[in-house]
Amino acid sequence: MAVVGAGMAGMTAAHELLRLGLRPVVHEVERIGGRMRSTPFPRHPSSVAEMGAMRFPVSSRALFHYIDTLRLATRPFPNPLAPGTPTTVVDLAGRTQWARDADDLPPVLQEVSTAWEKSLQERTELSVMRGAIQDRDTRTLKSVWNRLVTEYDDMSFWGFLASSPAFRSFRHREIFGQVGFGSGGWDTDFPNSMLEILRVVFTEADGNHVLIEGGAEQLPRGLWHRSPEDLVHWPAGTSLASLHGGTPRPGVRALRRSGSGIEVTDASGAVHPYAAVVFTPHVWTLLNRIDCDPSLLSTDEWLAVERTHYMGSSKLFVLTDRPFWRDTDPRTGRETMGMTLTDRSARGVYLFDEGPDRPGVMCLSYTWNDDSLKFATLSQRERLDVVLARLADIYPGVDIRSHIIDGPIGVTWESEPHFMGAFRANLPGQYRYQRRLFTQFAQDRADAAHGGLFLCGDDVSWTPGFAEGAVTTALNAVWGVLHRLGGRTHAANPGPGDVFDGLAPVALPYD
Ligand SMILES: Cc1cc2nc3c(=O)[nH]c(=O)nc-3n(C[C@H](O)[C@H](O)[C@H](O)COP(=O)(O)OP(=O)(O)OC[C@H]3O[C@@H](n4cnc5c(N)ncnc54)[C@H](O)[C@@H]3O)c2cc1C
C-alpha cells in the first residue's frame, strides 16, 4: 500500500506496516522529515536550525517510544524559566525584567500565573484529569472530558479567560497572552477553541520539554533507515530505505478509486495501483494540489476537510561565533542576553549552545498567526533587520550582528507550497468536524463506498502542533489498513479500532 508523506506520521505508519510484513511504498513531494525539518546552516552544515518541531514534552509517550528505539540523545529545552535556562528576560510594555526562576518574577506575573492555575482548577477539573491520565483511568477520563467537550467546544480561549473570575482584570489577560504558560506567549491562540488549550494542559504538553541533539529530523530519517530487529516476514536487514532503493517515490498528483483499491498518479506521471493509501500531508492539499476522486471521502468528511483551520508560523535563525549571550555584561553584572519573551514582533528568542567554544544557534524570532504574517512578505534579510532593531531596544549596547557567522535562515509555513500552514488548531464549534477526521480510520463502521484512504497526521490529531498526535494517528491508520486487508490484532493486545466503542471521542448532537 502507499504512504503519502515522509514526515513523522508517514514514517511511523510505514515502519509499522513493514514490521507487519506489508510493503509500504512511500511517496514524498519534498524531503523526508516534513515538519520535523532540521535545516543545516549553509556554510556550517554541522549546525542545524529547527524550522518545525523543536521541543518535545516528555509526556509524549508514543513519540518517545520511537526516540528511544532510535537511541536519539535529548537534553532539556531552553524554555522560559526552565531549569536548564540560565536567564529569562520578559519585555512587556517597554519594561524589561530579568528572572532566573519563577520566584524571581515581578508580583504581577506571579498573580497571572496563579490566576491561570486557579481558573483551570475551578473550571476544568485539572487535577482529576491529570490524575486519571497518570493512572490510565479511562472511565474517569472520559466522563469528565465528555462533559468538558460539551461545555467548551463553543468557547474560545479568550472567552474562557474573560469569563474566569480570576482573570477579571484585562491587564492580567493581556499579560497572560504575552507571557503565557509553559513554553511562552499564547495570545495568538486566543481565537482558538478552549478545548485545544485544555488538551495541551491536560497532557502536560506545555512544559518539561527536551530537544533532540543534532536535530529532530533524525527521528523520521532514522525510521526510514532502521531495520527492525523483530522482522518476521521480511529478510533481516530490510528497511524502508532498502525497499525503495534509497529514495521515496515522487509526490502524489492524483488519487482515483480503482476497483476495490486506489490508483495513485505521482509527479512523474506514473500510475500505481494500491490496496490502501495512508495519507499524511495537510488535508487542504486534497482540495487543490491533488486531483481527487470525490468518492474517496464522504460528503461529511469533505466538509470537515474544508473547515480545517491552521495556525501560521514563522521562524528566523542565525548562527553565532559562540554563545556570547552567556558572557557577563560588565555594566550590569548579568549575562548579556537571556531567553526572551517580548510583546514586540520578535515574540520569542531561544538560545541554544553546545559549549563555550562552539558556535551558538539563535532562534531570533518564533511567531504564530498575525505575528507570523507580519514577517511573511519580508525577505530573511529584512526579517533580520526588523528583529535586531527590536532586540536593540531590549538589549542596548549588545551587538548581536557582530557575532553572526551564518544565516539568517527561516521559514513561513503558511506560504510553503506543500504545507499551507504550520499546524491545525480548531476554532470554537469545530469539534464535530475534527471528530469526523479523527475517526475516519475506523472504516469498518463506515460506508464501504468511501473506504481505502486513511487520513492521519497532525491535521487529524487531537493534539495538533505536537508530533505525538502525528504518531498516534498514524498507528490508528495502521490498524485501519490491517483491518481492511483482513488482518486482526491479537486478542490480548487490541488495537484502536477494536476498542473504539469504549474509547471513541464523544459525538455531539448535530440538530
Ligand atoms: C513551526 C512548527 C513548530 C512545531 N513545534 C513542535 C514542537 O516543538 N513539538 C512537537 O512535538 N511538534 C511540533 N510541531 C508539530 C510537528 O512538527 C508535527 O505534528 C509533525 O511533524 C507532523 O507530522 P506529519 O507527518 O503529520 O506531517 P508532515 O510532517 O507535514 O508530513 C507530511 C509530508 O507530506 C509531504 N507531502 C505534502 N504533499 C505531498 C504530496 N502531494 N505527495 C507526497 N507527499 C506530500 C510533505 O512534504 C511532508 O513531508 C511544530 C510544527 C511547526 C510547523
Residue ID of nearest Cα to ligand 1 atom 10? 466
Dist. CA 227 → ligand 1 center (Å):
23
The span from the CA of 291 to the CA of 386, in Å, is 40
Q: What is the pLDDT of residue 447?
A: 79
The alpha carbon of 284 and the centre of ligand 1 are apart by a number of angstroms equal to 13
Ranges of H-type helices in 47-90: 61-69
In whole angstroms, give the CA distance from residue 461 to residue 484: 21
Q: What ligand 1 atom has the least distance to the C-alpha of 55?
A: 8
> Residue of the nearest CA to atom 48 in ligand 1?
34
Ligand 1 atom with the shortest distance to the CA of 282: 30
Q: How much is the pLDDT for 181? A: 67
Delineate the domains of the chain, giving CATH numbers in brackets. 2-35+217-308+426-503 (3.50.50.60), 38-79+313-415 (3.90.660.10), 88-206 (1.10.405.40)
How close is the Cα of 129 to the center of ligand 1, in Å? 28
Check pocket membership of 9 for ligand 1, CB cut-off 6 A. Answer: yes
Per-residue pLDDT of the chain (511 residues; tens, 9 = 90+): 999 999 999 999 999 999 999 999 999 999 999 999 999 999 999 999 999 999 999 999 999 999 999 999 999 999 998 888 889 999 988 899 998 887 888 888 889 989 999 999 999 999 999 999 999 999 999 999 999 999 999 999 999 999 999 999 999 999 999 887 667 778 999 999 999 999 999 999 988 999 999 999 999 999 999 999 989 999 999 999 999 999 999 999 999 999 889 999 999 999 999 999 999 999 999 999 999 999 999 999 999 999 999 999 999 999 999 999 999 988 888 999 999 999 998 999 999 998 999 999 999 999 999 999 999 999 999 999 999 999 999 999 999 999 999 999 999 999 999 999 999 999 999 999 999 999 999 998 877 778 899 999 999 999 999 999 999 999 999 999 999 999 999 999 999 999 999 999 999 999 8
Report CA torsion sign: 74, 10, 475, 421. Answer: positive
Task: Report how far ligand 1's centroid is from the alpha carbon of 310 (Å).
Answer: 12
CA distances from 500 to 7, 35, 443, 497 (A): 26, 29, 11, 5
Cell 487529524 sits at which residue? 460
At what angle are helices 8-19 and 218-225 packed, to 10 degrees? 20
11 lines ligand 1 (CB under 6 A): no
Q: Does the C-beta of 4 come closer than 6 Å to ligand 1?
A: yes
Nearest to 311 by CA among 239, 419, 221: 419
Q: Quickly tell me which residue has 508523506 as its cell.
A: 5
- Helices marked H in 286-442: 299-307, 369-376, 380-394, 431-438
How far does the centroid of ligand 1 lie from the alpha carbon of residue 280, in Å? 9
29 lines ligand 1 (CB under 6 A): yes
253 CA → ligand 1 middle, Å: 19
Say which DSSP state 356 is in.
T
Give the separation between CA 7 and CA 210, rounded to whole angstroms. Answer: 20
In angstroms, the CA 459 to CA 441 distance is 13
- What distance in angstroms lies between residue 355's CA and the mean position of ligand 1's atoms? 30
Atom 52 of ligand 1, nearest CA residue: 52
User: Is the CB–ligand 1 distance for residue 28 below 6 Å?
Assistant: yes
Residues 448 and 451: their CA atoms lie apart, in Å, by 5
Q: Answer whether 329 contacts ligand 1 (Cβ < 6 A).
A: no
Residues 126 and 202: beta-carbon distance below 8 Å: yes
Q: What is the pLDDT of residue 234?
A: 97
Cα 336 from Cα 327, distance rounded (Å): 6
> What is the CA(423)–ligand 1 centre distance, in A?
8
Give 225-245 as a DSSP string.
H---TT-SSS-TT--HHHHTT
Residue 18, ligand 1, Cβ within 6 A? no
Q: For residue 484, give the H/E element and its range.
A: helix 467-484
Distance from Cα 482 to the centre of ligand 1, integer Å: 24
Nearest CA to ligand 1 atom 12: 466
Verify whether ligand 1 is closer than 6 Å to residue 422 (CB atom).
Answer: yes
Q: How far apart are the first and last CA of the chain?
A: 38
Query: Per the omega criterion (within 30 degrees of 0), is the bond before 40 cis?
Result: no
**262 ligand 1 Cβ < 6 A:** no
pLDDT of residue 34: 98
What lies within 8 Å, CB to CB, of 402 at 6+ separation is none
Taking the CB of residue 329, how many other CB atoms lie within 10 A of it? 14
Q: Ligand 1 pocket, 55 CB below 6 A?
A: yes
Q: For residue 192, report the distance from its CA to the centre of ligand 1, in Å.
A: 20
What is the structure's pLDDT at 232? 92
Contact 176, 168 (CB under 8 A): no
- What was the pLDDT predicted at 388? 97
Q: Residue 445: its pLDDT value, please?
A: 80
Residue minimizing CA distance to atom 53 of ligand 1: 422
Q: How far apart are CA 397 and CA 400, in angstroms?
A: 9
